Chain A
Amino acid sequence: MVSTEMSMDADGVMRMVRAMADAVTEQAVHLGHLDAISGDGDHGAGISRAMRTAASNLEAAPPSAPADALQRTGSVLMDEMGGAAGLLFGTIFTAAARRAGTAEQLDTRQWAAMITDAQDAVQKRGKAQPGDKTMVDALAPAAVAFREAAEQGLPLRDAFELSARAAAQGVEATKAMLPKQGRARFVGERSVGHADAGATSLSIMLGAAARSLTERSVA
Protein backbone atom coordinates (compact mmCIF):
# COMPACT_ATOMS: atom_id res chain seq x y z
CA MET A 1 0.00 0.00 0.00
CA VAL A 2 1.22 3.50 -0.67
CA SER A 3 -0.02 6.92 0.25
CA THR A 4 -2.09 8.61 -2.37
CA GLU A 5 -3.76 11.96 -2.62
CA MET A 6 -6.78 10.20 -1.12
CA SER A 7 -5.19 8.72 1.98
CA MET A 8 -2.01 8.34 4.02
CA ASP A 9 -0.26 5.22 5.25
CA ALA A 10 2.57 4.89 7.83
CA ASP A 11 5.13 5.89 5.23
CA GLY A 12 2.97 8.86 4.29
CA VAL A 13 2.82 10.03 7.91
CA MET A 14 6.61 9.76 8.05
CA ARG A 15 6.92 11.92 4.92
CA MET A 16 4.41 14.39 6.37
CA VAL A 17 6.49 14.71 9.56
CA ARG A 18 9.64 15.33 7.51
CA ALA A 19 7.85 17.96 5.42
CA MET A 20 6.61 19.64 8.61
CA ALA A 21 10.13 19.58 10.07
CA ASP A 22 11.57 21.17 6.92
CA ALA A 23 8.86 23.85 6.88
CA VAL A 24 9.22 24.92 10.52
CA THR A 25 13.01 24.86 10.14
CA GLU A 26 12.76 27.19 7.15
CA GLN A 27 10.57 29.54 9.23
CA ALA A 28 12.44 29.06 12.54
CA VAL A 29 13.84 32.58 12.71
CA HIS A 30 10.47 34.13 11.91
CA LEU A 31 8.78 31.95 14.54
CA GLY A 32 11.43 32.97 17.06
CA HIS A 33 10.77 36.64 16.41
CA LEU A 34 7.01 36.15 16.84
CA ASP A 35 7.61 34.28 20.08
CA ALA A 36 9.97 36.97 21.35
CA ILE A 37 7.09 39.45 21.44
CA SER A 38 5.31 37.59 24.19
CA GLY A 39 7.58 34.66 25.06
CA ASP A 40 11.27 33.96 25.41
CA GLY A 41 11.94 33.81 21.68
CA ASP A 42 12.96 30.18 21.37
CA HIS A 43 9.81 28.70 19.83
CA GLY A 44 11.28 28.47 16.33
CA ALA A 45 14.50 26.82 17.51
CA GLY A 46 12.58 24.45 19.80
CA ILE A 47 9.94 23.20 17.38
CA SER A 48 12.42 22.95 14.51
CA ARG A 49 14.79 20.83 16.57
CA ALA A 50 12.06 18.56 17.95
CA MET A 51 10.38 18.00 14.58
CA ARG A 52 13.73 17.21 12.93
CA THR A 53 14.47 14.70 15.70
CA ALA A 54 11.01 13.16 15.27
CA ALA A 55 11.45 12.85 11.49
CA SER A 56 14.93 11.34 11.82
CA ASN A 57 13.73 8.84 14.43
CA LEU A 58 10.98 7.66 12.10
CA GLU A 59 13.36 7.38 9.16
CA ALA A 60 15.82 5.39 11.28
CA ALA A 61 13.15 2.93 12.44
CA PRO A 62 10.20 3.08 10.01
CA PRO A 63 6.80 3.12 11.74
CA SER A 64 4.62 0.02 11.78
CA ALA A 65 1.37 1.95 11.32
CA PRO A 66 0.17 5.56 11.04
CA ALA A 67 -0.70 5.62 14.75
CA ASP A 68 2.81 4.47 15.64
CA ALA A 69 4.35 7.32 13.60
CA LEU A 70 2.01 9.89 15.13
CA GLN A 71 2.51 8.62 18.68
CA ARG A 72 6.30 8.67 18.37
CA THR A 73 6.24 12.18 16.93
CA GLY A 74 4.06 13.37 19.82
CA SER A 75 6.39 11.81 22.39
CA VAL A 76 9.44 13.51 20.88
CA LEU A 77 7.70 16.90 20.96
CA MET A 78 6.72 16.43 24.61
CA ASP A 79 10.07 15.13 25.79
CA GLU A 80 12.59 16.93 23.57
CA MET A 81 10.89 20.30 23.24
CA GLY A 82 9.11 20.38 26.60
CA GLY A 83 7.36 23.40 28.05
CA ALA A 84 3.75 24.24 27.32
CA ALA A 85 4.37 24.29 23.55
CA GLY A 86 6.04 20.86 23.45
CA LEU A 87 3.23 19.35 25.49
CA LEU A 88 0.45 20.92 23.40
CA PHE A 89 1.99 20.21 19.99
CA GLY A 90 2.76 16.71 21.24
CA THR A 91 -0.85 16.34 22.37
CA ILE A 92 -2.05 17.06 18.81
CA PHE A 93 -0.08 14.05 17.56
CA THR A 94 -0.85 11.68 20.45
CA ALA A 95 -4.58 12.49 20.34
CA ALA A 96 -4.54 11.92 16.58
CA ALA A 97 -2.69 8.62 17.12
CA ARG A 98 -5.32 7.44 19.60
CA ARG A 99 -8.10 8.12 17.13
CA ALA A 100 -6.16 6.56 14.23
CA GLY A 101 -6.14 3.29 16.17
CA THR A 102 -5.05 0.31 14.10
CA ALA A 103 -5.91 1.81 10.70
CA GLU A 104 -3.38 1.13 7.94
CA GLN A 105 -4.65 4.01 5.80
CA LEU A 106 -6.04 7.34 6.95
CA ASP A 107 -8.49 9.10 4.67
CA THR A 108 -10.14 12.51 4.88
CA ARG A 109 -12.96 11.29 7.13
CA GLN A 110 -10.51 9.73 9.61
CA TRP A 111 -8.24 12.75 9.61
CA ALA A 112 -11.24 15.01 10.26
CA ALA A 113 -12.03 12.96 13.37
CA MET A 114 -8.36 12.92 14.40
CA ILE A 115 -7.96 16.70 14.13
CA THR A 116 -11.24 17.20 15.99
CA ASP A 117 -9.96 14.96 18.80
CA ALA A 118 -6.66 16.83 18.76
CA GLN A 119 -8.45 20.14 19.21
CA ASP A 120 -10.46 18.75 22.13
CA ALA A 121 -7.35 17.34 23.79
CA VAL A 122 -5.38 20.58 23.36
CA GLN A 123 -8.20 22.68 24.78
CA LYS A 124 -8.70 20.31 27.69
CA ARG A 125 -5.01 20.38 28.57
CA GLY A 126 -4.28 24.05 27.93
CA LYS A 127 -7.70 25.38 28.97
CA ALA A 128 -7.61 27.85 26.09
CA GLN A 129 -10.73 28.98 24.25
CA PRO A 130 -10.87 30.32 20.70
CA GLY A 131 -10.00 34.01 20.89
CA ASP A 132 -7.34 33.58 23.61
CA LYS A 133 -4.54 34.07 21.05
CA THR A 134 -3.14 30.55 21.13
CA MET A 135 -2.68 27.68 18.68
CA VAL A 136 -6.37 26.91 19.24
CA ASP A 137 -7.15 29.90 17.01
CA ALA A 138 -5.54 28.01 14.12
CA LEU A 139 -6.52 24.49 15.19
CA ALA A 140 -10.25 25.17 15.62
CA PRO A 141 -10.84 26.57 12.10
CA ALA A 142 -8.57 23.86 10.66
CA ALA A 143 -10.78 21.20 12.29
CA VAL A 144 -13.95 22.84 10.95
CA ALA A 145 -12.48 22.96 7.44
CA PHE A 146 -11.45 19.31 7.68
CA ARG A 147 -14.94 18.22 8.74
CA GLU A 148 -16.47 20.18 5.85
CA ALA A 149 -14.00 18.57 3.44
CA ALA A 150 -14.96 15.13 4.81
CA GLU A 151 -18.66 15.85 4.33
CA GLN A 152 -17.96 16.81 0.72
CA GLY A 153 -15.88 13.68 0.24
CA LEU A 154 -12.78 15.61 -0.85
CA PRO A 155 -9.38 13.94 -1.32
CA LEU A 156 -7.02 14.13 1.66
CA ARG A 157 -4.63 16.50 -0.09
CA ASP A 158 -7.44 19.00 -0.75
CA ALA A 159 -8.66 18.64 2.82
CA PHE A 160 -5.20 19.47 4.20
CA GLU A 161 -4.98 22.43 1.81
CA LEU A 162 -8.35 23.80 2.92
CA SER A 163 -7.54 23.29 6.58
CA ALA A 164 -4.14 24.98 6.14
CA ARG A 165 -5.90 27.93 4.53
CA ALA A 166 -8.45 28.10 7.36
CA ALA A 167 -5.60 27.91 9.90
CA ALA A 168 -3.77 30.74 8.11
CA GLN A 169 -6.89 32.89 8.37
CA GLY A 170 -7.04 31.97 12.05
CA VAL A 171 -3.42 33.09 12.43
CA GLU A 172 -4.27 36.38 10.75
CA ALA A 173 -7.10 36.88 13.24
CA THR A 174 -4.75 36.37 16.21
CA LYS A 175 -3.02 39.64 15.33
CA ALA A 176 -5.90 41.66 16.75
CA MET A 177 -6.27 39.50 19.87
CA LEU A 178 -5.13 40.09 23.43
CA PRO A 179 -3.33 37.03 24.83
CA LYS A 180 -5.18 35.32 27.68
CA GLN A 181 -3.11 32.20 28.33
CA GLY A 182 0.33 31.27 29.56
CA ARG A 183 3.09 33.77 30.02
CA ALA A 184 1.90 35.78 27.00
CA ARG A 185 -0.99 37.14 29.06
CA PHE A 186 1.46 39.31 31.01
CA VAL A 187 2.40 41.10 27.80
CA GLY A 188 -1.14 42.25 27.04
CA GLU A 189 -1.46 44.99 24.48
CA ARG A 190 2.19 44.84 23.48
CA SER A 191 1.34 41.73 21.45
CA VAL A 192 -1.52 43.32 19.49
CA GLY A 193 -0.62 43.57 15.81
CA HIS A 194 1.51 40.41 15.92
CA ALA A 195 0.40 36.86 15.18
CA ASP A 196 0.62 34.12 17.78
CA ALA A 197 3.73 31.97 17.31
CA GLY A 198 2.06 28.64 18.15
CA ALA A 199 -0.85 29.26 15.79
CA THR A 200 1.64 30.24 13.08
CA SER A 201 3.63 27.02 13.55
CA LEU A 202 0.50 24.94 13.32
CA SER A 203 -0.61 26.64 10.12
CA ILE A 204 2.86 26.11 8.61
CA MET A 205 2.72 22.42 9.56
CA LEU A 206 -0.71 21.90 7.98
CA GLY A 207 0.52 23.51 4.76
CA ALA A 208 3.50 21.17 4.78
CA ALA A 209 1.19 18.18 5.30
CA ALA A 210 -0.75 19.15 2.15
CA ARG A 211 2.46 19.51 0.14
CA SER A 212 3.77 16.15 1.39
CA LEU A 213 0.77 14.52 -0.30
CA THR A 214 1.24 16.51 -3.49
CA GLU A 215 4.94 15.80 -3.72
CA ARG A 216 4.63 12.13 -2.87
CA SER A 217 7.14 9.85 -4.48
CA VAL A 218 5.49 6.75 -5.86
CA ALA A 219 7.21 3.58 -4.78
Chain B
Amino acid sequence: MAVRRYKLINQPESIVPDMLRGFAAAYPDIVRLTDDGMIVRRVPKEAGKVGLVIGNGSGHEPAMIGWVGPGLFDVNVPGEIFAAPGPSRIVRGIKAAERGAGVLVAVSHHAGDLMNAEAALEMAQDERIKGVDMVVLYDDISSAPRDRIEERRGAAGLFFVWKTLGAVAESGASLAECKRLAEKVRDNTRSLSAALSSCAHPVTGEPLFRMPEDEMEIGTGVHGELGSGRRKITSADEIIDLMLTPLLADLPFRDGDDVLVLLNNSGSLTLMELFILNRRVAQRLDEAGIKVYRTWIGPYATTQEMAGFALALCRADAEIKQLYDAPADGAYFKMVGREREGSDLG
Protein backbone atom coordinates (compact mmCIF):
# COMPACT_ATOMS: atom_id res chain seq x y z
CA MET B 1 0.00 0.00 0.00
CA ALA B 2 1.36 3.38 -0.91
CA VAL B 3 2.32 5.52 2.04
CA ARG B 4 1.15 9.12 2.12
CA ARG B 5 4.44 10.93 2.28
CA TYR B 6 3.39 14.51 2.81
CA LYS B 7 1.72 15.62 5.99
CA LEU B 8 0.06 18.95 6.71
CA ILE B 9 2.71 20.50 8.89
CA ASN B 10 4.69 23.74 8.92
CA GLN B 11 8.33 22.87 9.67
CA PRO B 12 9.63 19.44 10.75
CA GLU B 13 11.23 21.18 13.76
CA SER B 14 7.95 22.68 14.93
CA ILE B 15 5.69 19.62 14.63
CA VAL B 16 5.46 18.90 18.36
CA PRO B 17 5.08 22.50 19.64
CA ASP B 18 2.59 23.36 16.87
CA MET B 19 0.53 20.26 17.68
CA LEU B 20 0.56 20.97 21.42
CA ARG B 21 -0.56 24.58 20.93
CA GLY B 22 -3.42 23.51 18.72
CA PHE B 23 -4.45 20.80 21.14
CA ALA B 24 -4.35 23.11 24.16
CA ALA B 25 -6.31 25.77 22.27
CA ALA B 26 -9.08 23.23 21.63
CA TYR B 27 -9.51 22.00 25.21
CA PRO B 28 -8.82 24.92 27.55
CA ASP B 29 -11.44 23.63 30.00
CA ILE B 30 -9.47 20.38 30.52
CA VAL B 31 -5.77 21.05 29.95
CA ARG B 32 -3.11 23.71 29.93
CA LEU B 33 0.15 23.76 27.94
CA THR B 34 3.04 24.87 30.14
CA ASP B 35 5.88 27.07 28.91
CA ASP B 36 8.18 24.05 28.90
CA GLY B 37 5.91 21.98 26.68
CA MET B 38 3.99 19.83 29.14
CA ILE B 39 0.27 19.12 29.13
CA VAL B 40 -1.16 19.51 32.66
CA ARG B 41 -4.66 19.53 34.09
CA ARG B 42 -6.46 22.86 33.96
CA VAL B 43 -7.62 22.28 37.55
CA PRO B 44 -4.97 20.42 39.57
CA LYS B 45 -5.95 17.33 41.50
CA GLU B 46 -6.90 17.85 45.16
CA ALA B 47 -3.96 18.07 47.56
CA GLY B 48 -3.14 14.84 49.38
CA LYS B 49 -3.56 12.55 46.38
CA VAL B 50 -0.92 10.75 44.33
CA GLY B 51 0.15 12.55 41.17
CA LEU B 52 0.48 10.57 37.92
CA VAL B 53 3.00 11.44 35.22
CA ILE B 54 3.68 9.85 31.88
CA GLY B 55 6.29 10.80 29.29
CA ASN B 56 6.15 9.41 25.79
CA GLY B 57 7.25 10.03 22.25
CA SER B 58 4.85 12.15 20.21
CA GLY B 59 3.18 10.89 17.05
CA HIS B 60 0.79 8.49 18.83
CA GLU B 61 -2.04 10.96 19.39
CA PRO B 62 -4.42 10.96 21.16
CA ALA B 63 -1.86 9.17 23.40
CA MET B 64 -1.08 10.55 25.84
CA ILE B 65 -2.05 14.24 25.65
CA GLY B 66 -5.70 13.21 25.38
CA TRP B 67 -5.44 11.30 28.66
CA VAL B 68 -4.72 14.20 30.98
CA GLY B 69 -7.66 15.23 33.12
CA PRO B 70 -9.74 14.23 36.13
CA GLY B 71 -9.67 10.46 36.68
CA LEU B 72 -6.66 10.12 34.36
CA PHE B 73 -3.13 11.58 34.32
CA ASP B 74 -2.04 14.80 36.00
CA VAL B 75 0.84 15.54 33.65
CA ASN B 76 1.96 14.35 30.25
CA VAL B 77 5.50 15.15 29.08
CA PRO B 78 5.49 14.74 25.29
CA GLY B 79 8.83 14.06 23.63
CA GLU B 80 9.89 14.47 20.03
CA ILE B 81 8.32 12.19 17.42
CA PHE B 82 8.64 8.58 18.64
CA ALA B 83 11.31 9.66 21.17
CA ALA B 84 10.78 9.70 24.92
CA PRO B 85 11.38 13.02 26.71
CA GLY B 86 14.71 13.54 28.48
CA PRO B 87 15.15 13.09 32.24
CA SER B 88 15.16 16.74 33.29
CA ARG B 89 11.86 17.25 31.46
CA ILE B 90 10.37 14.26 33.33
CA VAL B 91 11.61 15.74 36.62
CA ARG B 92 9.76 18.97 35.77
CA GLY B 93 6.69 16.82 35.15
CA ILE B 94 7.10 15.15 38.55
CA LYS B 95 7.26 18.56 40.24
CA ALA B 96 4.16 19.72 38.36
CA ALA B 97 2.22 16.61 39.42
CA GLU B 98 3.20 16.70 43.11
CA ARG B 99 0.14 17.18 45.37
CA GLY B 100 1.67 16.10 48.65
CA ALA B 101 1.18 12.33 48.45
CA GLY B 102 3.97 11.33 46.09
CA VAL B 103 4.19 10.88 42.33
CA LEU B 104 4.08 7.74 40.23
CA VAL B 105 5.84 7.83 36.85
CA ALA B 106 4.15 5.38 34.48
CA VAL B 107 6.45 3.84 31.88
CA SER B 108 5.35 2.00 28.75
CA HIS B 109 8.22 -0.42 28.29
CA HIS B 110 10.44 0.76 25.43
CA ALA B 111 14.20 1.27 25.74
CA GLY B 112 14.06 5.07 25.56
CA ASP B 113 11.08 5.47 27.86
CA LEU B 114 12.62 3.22 30.50
CA MET B 115 16.14 4.71 30.41
CA ASN B 116 14.89 8.29 30.57
CA ALA B 117 12.52 7.50 33.44
CA GLU B 118 15.31 5.76 35.37
CA ALA B 119 17.59 8.75 34.83
CA ALA B 120 14.76 11.08 35.91
CA LEU B 121 14.22 9.18 39.16
CA GLU B 122 17.94 9.40 39.94
CA MET B 123 17.84 13.12 39.20
CA ALA B 124 14.80 13.52 41.48
CA GLN B 125 16.67 11.69 44.22
CA ASP B 126 19.69 13.99 43.77
CA GLU B 127 17.32 16.95 44.12
CA ARG B 128 15.90 15.32 47.30
CA ILE B 129 12.39 15.11 45.91
CA LYS B 130 10.68 12.55 48.15
CA GLY B 131 8.00 9.99 47.35
CA VAL B 132 8.66 9.35 43.66
CA ASP B 133 8.32 5.89 42.20
CA MET B 134 7.91 4.38 38.75
CA VAL B 135 6.03 1.43 37.35
CA VAL B 136 7.12 -0.34 34.17
CA LEU B 137 4.30 -1.69 32.02
CA TYR B 138 4.12 -4.12 29.12
CA ASP B 139 1.49 -6.21 27.38
CA ASP B 140 2.55 -7.08 23.80
CA ILE B 141 2.86 -10.87 23.60
CA SER B 142 4.74 -10.82 20.29
CA SER B 143 7.73 -8.93 21.69
CA ALA B 144 9.16 -11.62 24.00
CA PRO B 145 8.19 -15.12 25.15
CA ARG B 146 6.20 -15.65 28.33
CA ASP B 147 9.24 -16.71 30.37
CA ARG B 148 10.88 -13.33 29.62
CA ILE B 149 7.69 -11.37 30.16
CA GLU B 150 9.46 -8.32 31.62
CA GLU B 151 11.17 -7.82 28.23
CA ARG B 152 7.84 -7.29 26.51
CA ARG B 153 6.87 -3.92 25.02
CA GLY B 154 4.14 -1.60 26.09
CA ALA B 155 1.23 -1.38 23.65
CA ALA B 156 -2.51 -0.72 23.44
CA GLY B 157 -3.42 -2.94 26.40
CA LEU B 158 -1.87 -0.36 28.70
CA PHE B 159 -4.99 1.79 28.30
CA PHE B 160 -6.59 -0.60 30.80
CA VAL B 161 -3.78 0.33 33.19
CA TRP B 162 -4.03 4.08 32.49
CA LYS B 163 -7.78 4.11 33.10
CA THR B 164 -7.77 2.12 36.35
CA LEU B 165 -4.59 3.77 37.65
CA GLY B 166 -6.13 7.19 37.07
CA ALA B 167 -9.21 6.13 38.99
CA VAL B 168 -7.36 4.64 41.94
CA ALA B 169 -5.15 7.74 42.32
CA GLU B 170 -8.25 9.94 42.16
CA SER B 171 -9.80 7.86 44.97
CA GLY B 172 -6.99 8.88 47.31
CA ALA B 173 -5.05 5.60 47.31
CA SER B 174 -1.43 5.67 48.50
CA LEU B 175 1.58 5.63 46.17
CA ALA B 176 2.19 1.95 46.98
CA GLU B 177 -1.48 1.12 46.34
CA CYS B 178 -1.39 2.90 42.99
CA LYS B 179 1.70 0.96 41.93
CA ARG B 180 0.21 -2.34 43.10
CA LEU B 181 -2.94 -1.72 41.09
CA ALA B 182 -0.98 -0.78 37.95
CA GLU B 183 1.07 -3.97 38.19
CA LYS B 184 -2.03 -6.06 38.83
CA VAL B 185 -3.79 -4.73 35.72
CA ARG B 186 -0.58 -5.16 33.69
CA ASP B 187 -0.28 -8.76 34.83
CA ASN B 188 -3.86 -9.47 33.71
CA THR B 189 -3.50 -7.76 30.32
CA ARG B 190 -2.30 -9.11 27.00
CA SER B 191 -2.26 -7.57 23.53
CA LEU B 192 -1.29 -8.40 19.98
CA SER B 193 -1.30 -6.20 16.89
CA ALA B 194 -1.56 -6.55 13.14
CA ALA B 195 -0.47 -4.13 10.41
CA LEU B 196 -1.46 -3.91 6.76
CA SER B 197 0.71 -0.95 5.78
CA SER B 198 3.23 1.45 7.24
CA CYS B 199 3.09 5.18 7.82
CA ALA B 200 5.49 7.93 6.86
CA HIS B 201 7.74 9.28 9.59
CA PRO B 202 6.56 12.88 10.09
CA VAL B 203 10.11 14.26 10.05
CA THR B 204 11.81 12.21 7.33
CA GLY B 205 8.74 11.43 5.20
CA GLU B 206 10.07 7.90 4.81
CA PRO B 207 7.93 4.83 5.58
CA LEU B 208 8.78 3.03 8.83
CA PHE B 209 8.77 -0.24 6.93
CA ARG B 210 7.76 -1.59 3.54
CA MET B 211 5.38 -4.42 2.91
CA PRO B 212 3.74 -5.72 -0.28
CA GLU B 213 0.23 -4.37 -0.76
CA ASP B 214 -1.49 -7.72 -0.33
CA GLU B 215 0.43 -8.75 2.78
CA MET B 216 0.00 -8.15 6.49
CA GLU B 217 2.10 -8.69 9.56
CA ILE B 218 1.14 -9.87 13.03
CA GLY B 219 2.98 -8.37 15.98
CA THR B 220 4.08 -5.03 14.54
CA GLY B 221 5.07 -2.61 17.33
CA VAL B 222 3.70 0.88 17.88
CA HIS B 223 6.76 2.36 16.14
CA GLY B 224 6.64 -0.11 13.27
CA GLU B 225 8.91 -2.59 15.07
CA LEU B 226 9.14 -5.79 13.10
CA GLY B 227 6.52 -8.37 13.92
CA SER B 228 6.57 -12.11 14.02
CA GLY B 229 5.59 -13.07 10.52
CA ARG B 230 4.07 -11.87 7.30
CA ARG B 231 1.26 -13.50 5.40
CA LYS B 232 -1.28 -12.72 2.71
CA ILE B 233 -4.16 -10.60 3.93
CA THR B 234 -7.05 -12.91 4.78
CA SER B 235 -10.58 -12.37 6.06
CA ALA B 236 -11.33 -10.38 9.23
CA ASP B 237 -12.51 -13.55 10.97
CA GLU B 238 -9.35 -15.45 10.07
CA ILE B 239 -7.14 -12.63 11.31
CA ILE B 240 -8.96 -12.52 14.64
CA ASP B 241 -8.71 -16.31 14.95
CA LEU B 242 -4.96 -16.11 14.27
CA MET B 243 -4.55 -13.47 16.97
CA LEU B 244 -6.95 -14.71 19.62
CA THR B 245 -5.51 -18.20 19.90
CA PRO B 246 -2.06 -17.07 21.16
CA LEU B 247 -3.60 -14.18 23.15
CA LEU B 248 -5.96 -16.43 25.10
CA ALA B 249 -3.27 -19.05 25.70
CA ASP B 250 -0.71 -16.56 26.99
CA LEU B 251 -2.38 -15.41 30.24
CA PRO B 252 -4.25 -17.83 29.96
CA PHE B 253 -7.80 -16.47 29.81
CA ARG B 254 -10.21 -19.20 30.91
CA ASP B 255 -13.84 -20.24 30.78
CA GLY B 256 -15.66 -18.09 33.34
CA ASP B 257 -13.30 -15.08 33.17
CA ASP B 258 -14.67 -11.59 32.75
CA VAL B 259 -12.64 -9.46 30.34
CA LEU B 260 -12.25 -5.93 29.09
CA VAL B 261 -11.72 -5.71 25.32
CA LEU B 262 -9.91 -3.00 23.35
CA LEU B 263 -9.66 -2.81 19.59
CA ASN B 264 -7.16 0.00 18.99
CA ASN B 265 -7.01 1.62 15.58
CA SER B 266 -3.34 2.16 14.64
CA GLY B 267 -4.36 4.96 12.31
CA SER B 268 -6.24 4.45 9.10
CA LEU B 269 -8.54 1.46 9.48
CA THR B 270 -12.22 2.30 9.26
CA LEU B 271 -14.60 1.88 12.17
CA MET B 272 -16.51 -0.43 9.87
CA GLU B 273 -13.50 -2.77 9.72
CA LEU B 274 -13.01 -2.59 13.49
CA PHE B 275 -16.67 -3.45 14.12
CA ILE B 276 -16.38 -6.42 11.75
CA LEU B 277 -13.26 -7.57 13.60
CA ASN B 278 -15.02 -7.15 16.93
CA ARG B 279 -17.93 -9.26 15.75
CA ARG B 280 -15.55 -12.21 15.59
CA VAL B 281 -13.87 -11.30 18.88
CA ALA B 282 -17.23 -11.31 20.68
CA GLN B 283 -18.23 -14.58 19.01
CA ARG B 284 -14.98 -16.37 19.86
CA LEU B 285 -14.93 -15.15 23.46
CA ASP B 286 -18.54 -16.26 23.90
CA GLU B 287 -17.68 -19.72 22.56
CA ALA B 288 -14.80 -19.92 25.05
CA GLY B 289 -17.09 -19.03 27.96
CA ILE B 290 -15.31 -15.70 28.49
CA LYS B 291 -17.66 -12.86 29.35
CA VAL B 292 -17.02 -9.40 27.89
CA TYR B 293 -17.56 -6.79 30.60
CA ARG B 294 -16.83 -3.70 28.45
CA THR B 295 -15.43 -3.03 24.97
CA TRP B 296 -13.59 0.03 23.67
CA ILE B 297 -13.11 0.49 19.93
CA GLY B 298 -11.24 3.42 18.46
CA PRO B 299 -7.92 5.22 18.06
CA TYR B 300 -6.23 5.17 21.49
CA ALA B 301 -2.52 4.91 20.61
CA THR B 302 -1.91 5.51 16.94
CA THR B 303 1.17 5.19 14.76
CA GLN B 304 0.34 8.05 12.42
CA GLU B 305 -1.65 6.71 9.46
CA MET B 306 -0.50 3.10 9.80
CA ALA B 307 -3.22 0.69 8.69
CA GLY B 308 -3.58 -1.82 11.46
CA PHE B 309 -5.00 -2.52 14.86
CA ALA B 310 -4.23 -4.05 18.22
CA LEU B 311 -6.46 -6.40 20.14
CA ALA B 312 -6.08 -6.23 23.90
CA LEU B 313 -7.78 -8.19 26.66
CA CYS B 314 -7.71 -7.67 30.41
CA ARG B 315 -9.06 -10.15 32.93
CA ALA B 316 -11.19 -8.04 35.25
CA ASP B 317 -12.13 -8.74 38.85
CA ALA B 318 -14.50 -6.58 40.92
CA GLU B 319 -11.77 -4.06 41.77
CA ILE B 320 -10.68 -3.60 38.15
CA LYS B 321 -14.31 -3.30 36.96
CA GLN B 322 -15.11 -0.66 39.53
CA LEU B 323 -12.05 1.43 38.65
CA TYR B 324 -12.70 0.94 34.95
CA ASP B 325 -16.19 2.39 35.33
CA ALA B 326 -15.16 5.34 37.50
CA PRO B 327 -15.59 8.81 35.97
CA ALA B 328 -12.85 10.26 33.76
CA ASP B 329 -12.64 13.50 31.81
CA GLY B 330 -9.72 13.78 29.41
CA ALA B 331 -9.89 15.52 26.05
CA TYR B 332 -9.87 12.17 24.24
CA PHE B 333 -11.28 9.85 26.87
CA LYS B 334 -14.42 10.38 28.87
CA MET B 335 -16.33 8.11 31.19
CA VAL B 336 -19.53 9.37 32.76
CA GLY B 337 -19.22 6.95 35.67
CA ARG B 338 -21.52 4.04 36.25
CA GLU B 339 -23.25 3.21 39.50
CA ARG B 340 -24.10 -0.43 38.88
CA GLU B 341 -22.05 -3.33 37.67
CA GLY B 342 -22.76 -5.07 34.40
CA SER B 343 -24.15 -4.07 31.04
CA ASP B 344 -27.43 -2.93 32.51
CA LEU B 345 -27.79 0.42 30.86
CA GLY B 346 -30.55 -0.67 28.47
Contacts and interface: CB of A to CB of B under 8 A. Distances in A.
Contact of A84 (B13, B89, B112, B204): B112
A186 B225 contact: yes
Interface stretch (A13-21, A42-50, A103-111): A42-50
Contact of B111 (A81, A183, A190): A183
Contacts of A88: 115
Nearest to A183: B225
Given A42-B204, A82-B116, A188 B84 contact: no
Contacts of B204: 32, 36, 41-42, 45
Contacts of A174: none
A181 B110 CA distance: 10
B115 A125 contact: yes
Contacts of A101: none
Chain B interface residue count: which class?
Answer: 20 to 34
Interface string B221-250: 101111100000000000000000000000
Nearest to B78: A82
B80 A82 contact: yes
A42 B201 contact: yes
Interface string A22-59: 00000000001000100011100110010000000000
Given A40-B224, A83-B83, A78 B88 contact: yes
Contacts of A87: 84, 86-87, 112, 115-116, 119
Interface string B193-212: 00000000101101010000
A36 B206 contact: yes
Q: Give the one of A79, A88, A90, A125 with max B CB within 10 A.
A: A79
A83 B56 CA distance: 9
A86 interface: yes
A183 B223 contact: yes
B116 A188 contact: no
B342 interface: no
A31 B13 CA distance: 18
B110 A183 contact: yes
B84 A83 contact: yes
Contact of A78 (B13, B87, B223): B87
Contact of B208 (A32, A41, A186, A188): A41
A131 interface: no
A2 interface: no
Contacts of A83: 57, 79-80, 82-84, 112, 116
A75 B88 contact: yes
A49 B87 contact: no
B143 interface: yes
Nearest to A74: B86
Contacts of A125: 115, 118-119
A182 B111 contact: yes
Interface residues of A, number: 31
Contacts of A181: 111
B121 to A, nearest CB: 12
B69 interface: no
Q: Give the one of A41, A46, A75, A187 with max B CB within 10 A.
A: A41
Nearest to B85: A82
Contact of A86 (B13, B83, B226): B83
B285 to A, nearest CB: 29
Nearest to B151: A185
A130 interface: no
Nearest to B87: A78
B129 interface: no
Given A83-B80, A183-B111, A41 B86 contact: no
A172 B242 CA distance: 40
Given A40-B201, A186-B143, A32 B86 contact: no
Nearest to B58: A82
A155 interface: no
A78 B86 contact: yes
A183 B201 CA distance: 16
A82 B83 contact: yes
Given A183-B111, A190-B226, A79 B82 contact: no
A42 B81 contact: yes
Q: Which 4 A-B pairs have the closest CB atoms?
A: A83-B83, A78-B86, A84-B112, A182-B111
30 contacts: A36-B206, A40-B201, A40-B208, A42-B82, A45-B204, A78-B88, A78-B116, A81-B80, A81-B83, A81-B86, A82-B79, A82-B83, A82-B85, A82-B89, A83-B82, A83-B83, A83-B112, A83-B116, A84-B84, A84-B115, A85-B83, A86-B112, A87-B112, A90-B86, A125-B118, A181-B111, A182-B111, A183-B111, A183-B223, A186-B226
Interface of B: 12-13, 57, 79-89, 110-112, 115-116, 118-119, 143, 201, 203-204, 206, 208, 221, 223-227
